[in-house]
Structure formats: C-alpha cells, structure tokens
Amino acid sequence: MDDIAVLSVGDELLFGEIDNTNASWIAERLFDNGCQVNEIITVPDKVDVIASKVERLLSEYKNIIITGGLGPTQDDITRDGVARATGQELIYRPELADNIKSFFNEIGKEVTENNYRQAYLPADAEPILNEEGTAPGFYLVAEGSNIFVLPGVPVEMKRMIDNFVLDRVCQPRQKNSYDLTLRVAGIGEAALEDRIKDIINRSEGIAFRFLPHGGEISIKLSLRPGFDPDNFAKVVAEIKEELGYYIYGEGDKSLAGVVSDLLRENNFSLALAESCTGGLIAKRLTDIPGASDFFKGGVIVYSNASKVRLLGLAEEILEKEGAVSRLAADQMATGVKELFDADFGVSVTGIAGPGGGTDEKPVGLVYSTICSNSCEFQERWSFSGDRKKVRWYASQYILNKLRLAILEAIK
C-alpha cells in the first residue's frame, strides 16, 4: 500500500482558472519532511465524484490529504463526499458553531445561516483547529487509513499541514536529518554533473537528484537508511569544495534572498538601472520583506531619452553603439550608482522580444555592468526563448553576478 495521496477538490482547478499550487506546496513540504506524495488527483465539486474517489484512495493509500470545498456555500460539499465514502452521518457540533460565531464577532460581521454548515462533521471526525479562518478542518480514520480534510484557502491549509498533518503522516522514523538541498547558479546541468560525477560515483548510500528550474539547479541529497551519516557529511563537504561559489545557498534560500542578505549583512546599498527587464529585478528584491534596508531604488529607463536624462548616457553612444551595447551598460550602471548614491549600481539593457531584434542584435541579447568601487562589465548574454524567459533569465544571471561581485568586494 502506498503512503500518501493528495485529493484537490474544486471546479476552478478543472476550468484551468487556477494552477493547483496547494498540491505542489503540500508535495514539497512533505518531501522536505522526509515523506513523499505518490499521487495527486483533482476533481470537481460533485458529491458522488468526491465520494467515489475517496473510496478508491482508501483502498490504495495509507494517508489521504484532501483540500478544498469546506466553505460555507452550497457548492462546498467535501464534507458530504467524505461522509458518504466513509458511511458516516454529518453531525452538528455546537462547539464548532460557537467558534464560528466568535470568529465573526471578532471581525465585526454577522454570521449567516450558511456559515453554520461548517459546524457539521462526519460522526467520527476530530476537528482540526483553523487559526486563520472559519472553516475547521477534520481528521478521521477509515478502513485503517488516515483522512485529513483541509480548507482550500492556502494560508489556512498550510497552517494545518504544519501543525497537524506532518507529525501524523511523516513518521519520525522517516524523518531524515541527512537531507540537504544545495542551490546552484551560474553553471549548466551537464557541466555540473560532469564536475561532481566522481564524487557521486563513490558515494554509496546517498541519493542525488538534480532539479534544474528557471536558470538554476537544486541538488537534492539524501542518505538512504542504514548508511553512514558521517560519510554523508564528508560527501557534502567534497561537493561544496568542488563547486565553490557556484553554490549560492542551501535549503529554502532563493537567489534574490541570498543577494538581499549579503547586501544587508555588509551594509551595502544598491541601485538598479533596468531596461529590458522593466522592473523585474527590483520586483524580485522587493518581494522580500526588509528590502528598504539596502535598496535605495531604481530607474526603469525604457526610452532612450530617459537613459540620457536620468543616467547621463551620452547621446553619442546611443547613436554609434545603440542602447543595447556594452558602453551603454557601463554608463547606465555608473549613472544609477551616482543618482542614488549607492554602494552598488547595476545595469541591464537588452532585447526581450518578440520585436526589436536585428541580425546583429537578436532577441535575447542582454548586457549588464556592475559598479562598486570600480565598474566591471559582466557579460554579453544570448538568451533563447520567449520574452518571459529572456527577462527571467536576465534577472537570474544578473542577480548571480551581483552575488559574486559582493563576495569579491568583501574578500
């Protein structure tokens, strides 16, 4: 019998209006806690469909995590589906009704009759406290399997996974302190594998997974049961030694997060001059709380006139070399560093496409310069792919170059 299935309930997931990010979040959270989702299934808001899928999953899986369909409206029929699949009645729980009432009181709203639908649970179910909203989750055991039923609202679901589900699904024996994710940027997958293949080959009992995504690679290492933890530590050290600065972080770290931390810890300030990325790099850095500690600001110089006026780019360079050129990148970085009086000035200029490319300067061409004490032109990249991909890769490669420049500066 396999371990874990996730059942997502919701018409909206089958109309394609919404990606099923709940399921992928759960899969990742569980994986990081040493256990694995074996199947994800998405079904509409129909009682009979939910009931029949739950019946099937009960015969195949030890743990079934269900999300969605616990709201107050007539469409929300996950409670009914689970009750039917497990042959139980829905029973009114006065204590849950009280919770719902006080939740509404607190936010100063009236409870409607509909809201009390959420106080009905299958007879044997144990409620799971909702610290973020009104819909209680619930837990029951049927045919020897665990069923966890959680709301579809991400913040509510996530809390319940962390506080209630993880401990019950990922048995302590499965939890593995010898799991590690190394996050790598600035090297391709083939070159990376090539570089550490000797280490991998002599690492008995350690499983490796390479997950390339959006211009970086996660290396997931886990020690198989019964093998030597000391050897795990040794292998990790060898890989770190071999890859050096290619490793930008471990675990959950994001590249933008690592760059932010480096700037903050070293009291460096930053200013950005973006052309083709149109604010994407600034957006990525300011997605993270506390960006005002180091980010003085940026300019998005989408027109040539603004490059001249705000950044002092020489008209001559625009005429002779064009806005997408090494000299333009240099002057933009110099200009923005001065404009914001920042420790680091970073420029990006390029052609994101689909229009605007020429034989000489095709779509995907991107230049960047980073100035700190001195200015250093970084690279002339030729990214392939559509506009979205070119912009994302540019942001990714430039953030990585900025990381390396900061590391160089504090050497």
Residues numbered 114 to 133 that lie near a copy of itself (CB under 8 A) are none
Nearer to a copy of itself, 67 or 96 (CB): 67
Cβ of residue 244: shortest distance to a copy of itself, in angstroms?
24
The reply to whether 41 sits near a copy of itself by the rule CB under 8 A is yes
Nearer to a copy of itself, 53 or 138 (CB): 53
**What one-character-per-residue DSSP string does 56-121 give?**
HHHHHEEEEEEES--SSSTT--HHHHHHHHTT--EEE-HHHHHHHHHHHHHTT-PPPGGGGGGGEE
The one-letter amino acid at 120: Y
| Stretch of residues binding a copy of itself (CB under 8 A), selected from 95-103, 145-153, 206-214, 238-246 | 206-214
State yes or no: cis peptide before 354, omega within 30 of 0: yes
Site string for a copy of itself, 334-373 (x = CB under 8 A): -----xxx----------xxxxx-----------------
- Within residues 212-251, the interface with a copy of itself by CB under 8 A covers 213, 218, 220
Site string for a copy of itself, 298-337 (x = CB under 8 A): xxxxxx-xx--xx---------------------------
- Within residues 50-69, the interface with a copy of itself by CB under 8 A covers 53
> What six digits make up the tokens of 35?
């256990």
**Angle between helix 387-409 and 255-265 (nearest 10):** 30
The reply to whether 254 sits near a copy of itself by the rule CB under 8 A is no
Cα–Cα distances in angstroms (integers) from residue 395 to residues 1, 307, 368, 387, 409, in the given order: 45, 19, 10, 12, 21
Under a CB-based contact definition with an 8 Å cutoff, are residues 195 and 239 in contact?
no
The reply to whether 12 sits near a copy of itself by the rule CB under 8 A is yes
Nearer to a copy of itself, 19 or 95 (CB): 19
| Stretch of residues binding a copy of itself (CB under 8 A), selected from 39-47, 89-97, 131-139, 186-194 | 39-47
Site string for a copy of itself, 138-157 (x = CB under 8 A): -----------------x--
Burial 50-62 (b: 16+ CB within 10 A, else e): bbebbbebbeebe
| Stretch of residues binding a copy of itself (CB under 8 A), selected from 9-17, 76-84, 170-178, 260-268 | 9-17
Site string for a copy of itself, 70-99 (x = CB under 8 A): ------------------------------
What is the rounded CA–CA span in Å between residue 5 and residue 62?
8
What is the rounded CA–CA span in Å between residue 207 and residue 214?
23
Cβ of residue 91: shortest distance to a copy of itself, in angstroms?
30
Number of residues that bind a copy of itself (CB under 8 A): 77
Burial 228-252 (b: 16+ CB within 10 A, else e): eeebbeebbeebeeebeebbbbeee
Nearer to a copy of itself, 231 or 286 (CB): 286
Question: What is the DSSP code (8-state) at residue 165?
Answer: I
What is the rounded CA–CA span in Å between residue 214 and residue 391?
11
- Within residues 258-297, the interface with a copy of itself by CB under 8 A covers 272, 274, 277-283, 285-287, 289-292, 295-297
Question: What is the DSSP code (8-state) at residue 359?
Answer: S
The reply to whether 174 sits near a copy of itself by the rule CB under 8 A is no
Cβ of residue 181: shortest distance to a copy of itself, in angstroms?
10
The one-letter amino acid at 197: K
